[in-house]
């Protein structure tokens, strides 16, 4: 069974998924951060693959992506870093990125490398659902990888149900129609979250964009299976002198 499915089977509520940009703050910090997140009690890790034009990301993650590229992070480097990770880390691992570098690398070669290095799922915001279903779904299944789609408050019920039917792992519910990292009042989205909950989707739901502290994490968990934290974590580790201690303190603060 895919590790994402195992996680939700064993812990259906209060899932903490933490995003960090691969190769940030320094090129070789990726594995250190993933290990520290596991030791600190995170439930899942989402590694961002740096790209020069990250459409869904706000200024904090854009800047981390720029810095990681300057550090020398590439998809090929990331796969080298992930070799042997599964000897130390059992958390579900997701790669988040954009189709351009994946296509340059070669889609099937990329999926094969994901499977070889223990990646469990992918979030590719600019991969159209119809294209995924027609061209890539069977390849994802061949390599045991889940593809995770995003929905927003404006996504129709019919489209949400279609997304739920063609994807696996979880549905990524964007808290509002904006980029990552914006401070948002979750209470304004109560009707949206309730609508998602009432749909009784096949996949679990995690809420992301604007989750930044224990208050917003708890609020998101009230309406879903858990939440994704990105920009706040990227900010926290930006100038850290001790990554393990910073990660531990950050996760403890979210779970407090």
What is the dihedral angle through the alpha carbons of 215, 25, 94, 252, rounded to the nearest 10 degrees? Answer: -30
Residues 217 and 69: their CA atoms lie apart, in Å, by 30
Task: Note if 120 is an active site residue.
Answer: no
CB 223 within 8 A of CB 194: yes
Choice among 5, 29, 35, 46 that is catalytic? 46
Task: Note if 46 is an active site residue.
Answer: yes
Question: According to DSSP H, which parts of the chain are helical?
Answer: 3-10, 30-40, 59-71, 75-82, 99-105, 107-117, 129-131, 137-142, 157-166, 190-198, 214-223, 231-237, 243-255
Choice among 5, 43, 57, 120 that is catalytic? 57
Count helices and strands (H / E) in the chain: 13, 9
Q: Looking at residue 134, what DSSP letter applies?
A: I
The catalytic residue positions are 46, 57
């Amino acid at each position: 069974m895919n590790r994402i499915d195992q996680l939700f089977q064993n812990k259906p509520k209060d899932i903490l998924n933490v995003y960090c940009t691969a190769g940030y703050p320094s090129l070789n910090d990726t594995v250190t951060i993933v290990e520290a997140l596991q030791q600190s009690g995170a439930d899942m890790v989402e590694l961002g693959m740096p790209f020069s034009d990250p459409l869904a990301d706000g200024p904090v993650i854009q800047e981390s992506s720029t810095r990681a590229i300057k550090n020398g992070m590439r998809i090929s480097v990331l796969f080298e870093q992930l070799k042997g990770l599964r000897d130390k880390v059992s958390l579900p691992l997701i790669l988040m990125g954009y189709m351009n570098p994946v296509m340059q690398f070669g889609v099937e070669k990329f999926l094969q490398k994901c499977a070889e290095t223990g990646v469990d799922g992918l979030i590719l915001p600019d991969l159209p659902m119809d294209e995924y279903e027609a061209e890539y779904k069977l390849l994802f299944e061949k390599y045991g990888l889940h593809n995770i789609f995003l929905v927003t408050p404006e996504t129709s019920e019919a489209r949400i149900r279609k997304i739920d039917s063609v994807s696996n792992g979880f549905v990524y519910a964007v808290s509002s129609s904006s980029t990552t990292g914006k401070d948002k009042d979750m209470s304004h989205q109560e009707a949206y979250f309730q609508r998602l909950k009432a749909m009784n989707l096949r996949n679990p739901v995690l809420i992301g964009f604007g989750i930044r502290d224990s208050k917003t994490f708890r609020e998101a968990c009230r309406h879903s299976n858990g939440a994704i934290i990105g920009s706040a974590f990227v900010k926290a580790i930006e100038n850290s002198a001790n990554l393990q201690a910073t990660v531990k303190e950050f996760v403890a603060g979210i779970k407090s």
